[in-house]
Structure 1
Amino acid sequence: MPFDGLFTHAMIAELRSKIIGGRVTKISQPFPNEVILTIRSQRHNQPLLLSAHPNYARIQITKIPYNNPPVPTNFTMTLRKYLENAKITAIDQLDNDRVANFSFATRNELGDELPLLLSIEIMGRYSNIVLVDQKDNKILDTIKHIGPSQNRFRTLLPGATYIQPPKQNLLNPFADESAKYLDLVQQFPNREMLAKQLQKSYQGIATAHALYLADSLHAVGDTSINWEHALKQADSPTPTIVGGSKNFFTFFKYDNDLNSENTESLSNLLDAFYQKKATSDRVQQQGSQLFHVIKGNLQKNRKKLKKLQQTMASTQKADILRIKGELLTTYLYQVKRGMTEIELPNYYDNEKLVKISLSNQLSPSQNAQKYFKKYQKLKNAVAYVTKQMKITKTEINYLEEVETQLELADPQDLPDIKVELQQEGYIRAQKQNKNGKVRKNKLGQPDTFYSSEDIKISVGKNNLQNDRLTLKMAQKKDIWLHAKNIHGSHVIIHDSQPSERTLLEAAKLAAYYSKARSSGNVPVDYVRVKNIRKPNGAKPGFVIYEGQQTLYVTPDEGEMKKMKKHD
């Protein structure tokens, strides 16, 4: 994933064409390490994503929607104080390093000009976003505070003097007057060796890009022209995702790679490449408590079910105990006090002899009563164990449903799932205001899609959304869909007579948002909403239905995205 100096150069060129001269209209920090500045430029709102994530640090214009947290961070408040309505005047790169500097023009409270610098340092786990007052070169705030104990060379704290990242003792490929690459080509005819030497000599070149440059230098024609042509692609990029076992993104044009895919812009490229990776990572991080709660309760209930099943298996001996008690009662005259066992004919089984253990401390009649008591105890246990097994299986089924929803969730779906677990008693509701009352979070809305025939389709992403969608939002004549006997989302077609094409598309959505997302042939039930009902006391998301029909479909992410784009 080479977001190296070359790619940074290409991305800055793209951003210059789109947001230079624009003004900041909105600032949000949807995640701890990521900020979105909404830039009003060229009559469009451009959401500029600045990420200091240790694995997915980047800069881009994003089309992926994000939810703004209810309480802004201190860094967000600082950015809003200084950058709201500020004008972007320049975007520069530090040599060919992964550092992008955004210059802003604004005014302070007294109306004096206040030049600001927002520096995004893309350096793996050391990535950071730093706001600097350029008048006195002082740091106003950073998204990650780095004290002297963590870094003696650079203190990144409010009020500290801003020091740029240390320069590397390497050449800038875009400003190399020595043309060192010519000597390297002569010395290293091997492709891999030449690529390594390019990385050792030039700044900001990842392995994938170094290999591409090595191929360009070894290509037929003038070496200098080949080098210049390759680097010029950073200003006229061909956004490409290169497939294979180690897929990566680039701005170079891969003509001969059958697994490559092109996008309209570098920003679209990063949205396509990072969406799944970053979303999954955020869900794992932000939902770690929820995953822990679900896995812990699942483990506890599965152990409980196993013990109940063992108890139920032991109750099968109840009839044997009853028979032994009856045989002792029938042949009581043969039983003597002090005996430890006796064999008696079983008149229920062709007079076969049955060995019966006895207690030498009890009388013959007490031994018979002992067997009857054990029989009655096991008989009473059957009803209790049967009830408990039903409750435990329901609990496991519910927890597995929530676990599936967590696995398929986007970060903005997690608050709803947390609220649900609080309501069900798995997580204690936290008191969040001064009066000691629990803050009521507003539930998210179901996802909206449109079929190729422009029919609205709604998809619940968690149990609370599923209940509200099916039982309150949908009309009785609408069509309800759900993956058959599989954990998944409720899907509603807001139409009383959908065509077969729309039904199939909605069924693919139901299959995609289910545990069977990766399967090839998924059964999906569909029925009118009027045939759906929720039993009293049922868990969130659980409904029963009748009169359903079944379709078999294969989930298709590409079709799902096309239906989502209409929204």
Structure 2
Amino acid sequence: MSFDGTMVRAVVHELKEKLTGGRISKIYQPTNYELLLTIRAKGQNQKLLLSAHPANARLQLTKWNPEHPKEPPMFCMYLRKHLEGGIIREIRQIEMERITLFQIQTRNELGDDVTRQLIVETMGRHSNIILIDTESQKILDSIHRIPYAISQVRQVLPGLNYQFPPSQEKRSPLDVTEEQFIAGFDYNQGKLDRQLMNRYTGIGPVIAREIIARAGVGDRAKLWAAFAPFQQQLQENQYQPTLVDTGEKLVFAITTLTSVKGEVSSFDFVSQLLDKIYLGKAERERNRQFTKELTKRLQNEIEKNKKKVLVLQEELEEGKTADRFQQYGELLTAYSYQIPAGSTETTVINYYDAEGTELTIPLDPKKSVLENAQSYFLRYKKAKAARKWNKEQITIALEENQYLETLLVQLGQASLAELEQIQDELVEEGLLKPMAKKGPKRKQTLPLPSSYTATDGTTILVGKNNKQNDYLTHRMAHSQDMWLHTKEIPGSHVVIRQYNGSEETLREAATLAAYFSKARLSSQVPVDYTYIKHVKKPSGAKPGFVIYTHQQTLYVTPSEEAIEHLEQRTTKVK
């Protein structure tokens, strides 16, 4: 866990400098886990985020501007009653633990000065935010109430005395001497980073691995030589907030990281680092959850359409026998003179049969023979109309599923910006309700496709969603550009600008079309290609749907290596 005791120490140092003496003007609770306090300090407003999220627990200054619930949660209302207008007199970390205490001077219901403590425990799934009466040390309330049924070791409930979490019996890294530090290691057990974490409060895996990596393989003196500068950083509150993007995960700490390889970013303040990590993470999580829910909704629509098609096809099969109703009507008309009134059935010679076989026709005895004939004619007319309607509905359902399948492919490959474009499209198509948003309206940008450069320098454009596909094919492309799409498979529109006849460029463009399609993991994927002048969008067609002629087909097998080779030359479309 990167948000260890050293990170808390760095954050607390920053908060002391910027918030001590500040007045709490507003308190919000945007989620079940998080509080956002607006504090007026040193002539400016600061936003303090306190999070008890089991995976993202932290405290920091932030630029986050979330939507707030219309009805504040009870804990939020309780904090407003006790803390709004209060002055922050002290901010301190409890030893090197992930526990931070805010001492707040405020007034009670009678107007008397009182002191409250707001304690933030950023301890993974045990994280909590607790309000305490300083004089009695009793709990007033907490963002998570912990009864005996949940924890037999430590309860957190209003009226109980506050107790710090159980001590881990570790020593502080701030005052350990060289002799004590070196003597504590057991070199026969190995895993020196684990030993470092087990011995010293506040040192998490990232810092422990970094110290051992700086020491390298050597004698005990090198371990102390690696640890001592870090200890001095903590003692003097001299921090170097650092983020490393390894390509697979984000690693961060309050010091430079030599043990992790990747793209390095440095920050002036710890809170800037934390905003970079967690606000992006929250946005990615929101979009991941939205994509998951949307995918499920689209899959449900696809299944409904499949069932609908099956039912309609069964009705079509049954409708094939509707011609016999017309025969019944005509035979009854021809033989009406010889059929007795009130009959329940009649047997006549079927002159539609070349062999002249007999045919038995059911009758409604309450109707005359001619009325029975008219009834059969009406049933034939209805069956014929139903057959036409069924065929139309089957076509509509199949086209709808083709469209939904395309959206599923796009969702699985969408970036955050592309996901917003898909969301807009779904709202426009009535598949999704508009999401009410506070604040300024998101600026609409052109749905520009991605651009790749072929080996011979030719530009290849790829639409990653239907908005981009439509814009690329019908607005950007010229009549002599080459257009590609997977044959009868949902996927991207691909355009080769000013195609010069190169087979290598055509194959590279086809590989892009296959890769950004439902057949990404398949081999020998058929890709159609034709000039853009032969590609048309039918009137009223759904986004991304086109018809085309004069096409030819080639077969390609998409691969990560081929796409990575092209992505190295990717440019931004203007």
Does the CA contact (< 8 Å) of 2:57 and 2:127 recur in 1?
Answer: yes
CA offset at residue 219 of structure 1?
8.2
Q: Which residue of 2 aligns with 1:51?
A: 51
TM-score (normalised: structure 1): 0.61
SS at match of 1:130: strand
Q: Which of 295, 317, 336 in structure 1 is aligned with 2:357?
A: 336
Does the CA contact (< 8 Å) of 1:311 and 1:385 recur in 2?
Answer: no
Residues 99 and 256 from structure 1, CA distance in 2 versus in 1: closer, same or farther, beyond 3 angstroms?
A: closer
Tell me the amino acid that sits aligned with residue 201 of structure 1. R
Residues 361 and 490 from structure 1, CA distance in 2 versus in 1: closer, same or farther, beyond 3 angstroms?
A: closer
Question: Is 1:123 equivalent to 2:123 in the alignment?
Answer: yes
Question: Is 1:238 equivalent to 2:240 in the alignment?
Answer: yes
Instruction: For structure 1, list consecutive stretches of 5 or more residues without a partner in the other structure.
Output: 338-359, 364-370, 428-440, 450-456, 461-482, 492-499, 501-514, 523-533, 547-553, 561-567
Question: Is 1:298 equivalent to 2:301 in the alignment?
Answer: yes
Residues 334 and 168 from structure 1, CA distance in 2 versus in 1: closer, same or farther, beyond 3 angstroms?
A: same
Residues 232 and 316 from structure 1, CA distance in 2 versus in 1: closer, same or farther, beyond 3 angstroms?
A: farther
Provide Cα deviations, 1:367-418, integer angstroms capped at 9, x if missing partner: xxxx9999977643343224434665687668997998999899xx9xx99x
CA offset at residue 55 of structure 1?
0.9
Q: Which residue of 2 aligns with 1:550?
A: none
Q: Which residue of 1 aligns with 2:142?
A: 142
CA offset at residue 35 of structure 1?
0.5
Please list, as runs of the form range in 1=range in 2, the aligned pairs for 1:149-188 lying within 5 A after superposition. Answer: 149-177=149-177, 179-184=179-184, 187-188=186-187
- Name the CA distance, whole Å, in 2 between partners of 1:393 and 1:140: 61
- Name the CA distance, whole Å, in 2 between partners of 1:29 and 1:520: 46
Question: Is 1:380 equivalent to 2:385 in the alignment?
Answer: yes
Does the CA contact (< 8 Å) of 1:242 and 1:261 recur in 2?
Answer: yes
Please list, as runs of the form range in 1=range in 2, the aligned pairs for 1:161-560 lying within 5 A after superposition. Answer: 161-177=161-177, 179-184=179-184, 187-188=186-187, 193-218=191-216, 224=224, 226-234=226-234, 235-244=237-246, 245-255=248-258, 257-264=260-267, 265-281=269-285, 294=297, 297-298=300-301, 300-307=303-310, 310-311=313-314, 332-337=353-358, 379-389=384-394, 392=397, 444=438, 447-449=441-443, 457=444, 486=466
Does the CA contact (< 8 Å) of 1:318 and 1:378 recur in 2?
Answer: no
Which protein shows a greater Rg? 2
CA offset at residue 143 of structure 1?
0.3
Does the CA contact (< 8 Å) of 1:459 and 1:489 recur in 2?
Answer: no
CA offset at residue 319 of structure 1?
12
- Name the CA distance, whole Å, in 1 between partners of 2:446 and 2:87: 40
- Name the CA distance, whole Å, in 2 between partners of 1:313 and 1:240: 67
CA offset at residue 154 of structure 1?
2.3
Question: Is 1:104 equivalent to 2:104 in the alignment?
Answer: yes
Residues 283 and 162 from structure 1, CA distance in 2 versus in 1: closer, same or farther, beyond 3 angstroms?
A: farther
SS at match of 2:78: helix
Does the CA contact (< 8 Å) of 2:92 and 2:101 recur in 1?
Answer: yes
- Name the CA distance, whole Å, in 1 between partners of 2:249 and 2:400: 41
- Name the CA distance, whole Å, in 1 between partners of 2:440 and 2:468: 14
- Name the CA distance, whole Å, in 1 between partners of 2:10 and 2:391: 66
Q: Which residue of 2 aligns with 1:21?
A: 21
Does the CA contact (< 8 Å) of 1:181 and 1:198 recur in 2?
Answer: no
Provide Cα deviations, 1:105-153, integer angstroms capped at 9, x if missing partner: 2222333221111111112221110011101111111001111222233
- Name the CA distance, whole Å, in 2 between partners of 1:54 and 1:13: 24
- Name the CA distance, whole Å, in 2 between partners of 1:188 and 1:380: 87
Alignment coverage as a number of residue pairs: 434
Does the CA contact (< 8 Å) of 2:18 and 2:42 recur in 1?
Answer: yes
Q: Which moved more, 1:384-393 or 1:113-122?
A: 384-393
SS at match of 1:32: coil
Tell me the amino acid that sits aligned with residue 198 of structure 1. L
Residues 193 and 405 from structure 1, CA distance in 2 versus in 1: closer, same or farther, beyond 3 angstroms?
A: closer
SS at match of 2:191: helix
Tell me the amino acid that sits aligned with residue 262 of structure 1. S
- Name the CA distance, whole Å, in 1 between partners of 2:154 and 2:319: 74
Residues 215 and 29 from structure 1, CA distance in 2 versus in 1: closer, same or farther, beyond 3 angstroms?
A: same
Instruction: For structure 2, list consecutive stretches of 5 or more residues without a partner in the other structure.
Output: 331-348, 363-375, 448-462, 477-490, 493-510, 517-538, 547-566
TM-score (normalised: structure 2): 0.61
Does the CA contact (< 8 Å) of 1:446 and 1:459 recur in 2?
Answer: no
SS at match of 1:196: helix
Tell me the amino acid that sits aligned with residue 270 of structure 1. L
- Name the CA distance, whole Å, in 1 between partners of 2:512 and 2:8: 40
Residues 256 and 217 from structure 1, CA distance in 2 versus in 1: closer, same or farther, beyond 3 angstroms?
A: closer
- Name the CA distance, whole Å, in 1 between partners of 2:41 and 2:440: 31
Does the CA contact (< 8 Å) of 1:404 and 1:487 recur in 2?
Answer: no
Q: Which moved more, 1:159-168 or 1:400-409?
A: 400-409
Does the CA contact (< 8 Å) of 1:61 and 1:267 recur in 2?
Answer: yes
CA offset at residue 44 of structure 1?
2.2
Does the CA contact (< 8 Å) of 1:233 and 1:251 recur in 2?
Answer: no
Residues 333 and 490 from structure 1, CA distance in 2 versus in 1: closer, same or farther, beyond 3 angstroms?
A: closer
Does the CA contact (< 8 Å) of 1:294 and 1:399 recur in 2?
Answer: no
SS at match of 1:173: coil
- Name the CA distance, whole Å, in 1 between partners of 2:162 and 2:182: 38
Residues 272 and 489 from structure 1, CA distance in 2 versus in 1: closer, same or farther, beyond 3 angstroms?
A: farther
Tell me the amino acid that sits aligned with residue 268 of structure 1. Q
Residues 272 and 291 from structure 1, CA distance in 2 versus in 1: closer, same or farther, beyond 3 angstroms?
A: same
Provide Cα deviations, 1:168-212, integer angstroms capped at 9, x if missing partner: 111111233585321245x4289x621111122112322221111
CA RMSD of aligned residues (A): 5.3
Provide Cα deviations, 1:245-266, integer angstroms capped at 9, x if missing partner: 3432111202575514224222
Question: Is 1:132 equivalent to 2:132 in the alignment?
Answer: yes
- Name the CA distance, whole Å, in 2 between partners of 1:210 and 1:269: 20
- Name the CA distance, whole Å, in 2 between partners of 1:403 and 1:40: 48
CA offset at residue 86 of structure 1?
1.2
Does the CA contact (< 8 Å) of 1:447 and 1:459 recur in 2?
Answer: no
SS at match of 1:145: coil
SS at match of 2:24: strand
Tell me the amino acid that sits aligned with residue 239 of structure 2. P
Q: Which residue of 1 aligns with 2:340?
A: none
Q: Which residue of 2 aligns with 1:436?
A: none
CA offset at residue 66 of structure 1?
0.5
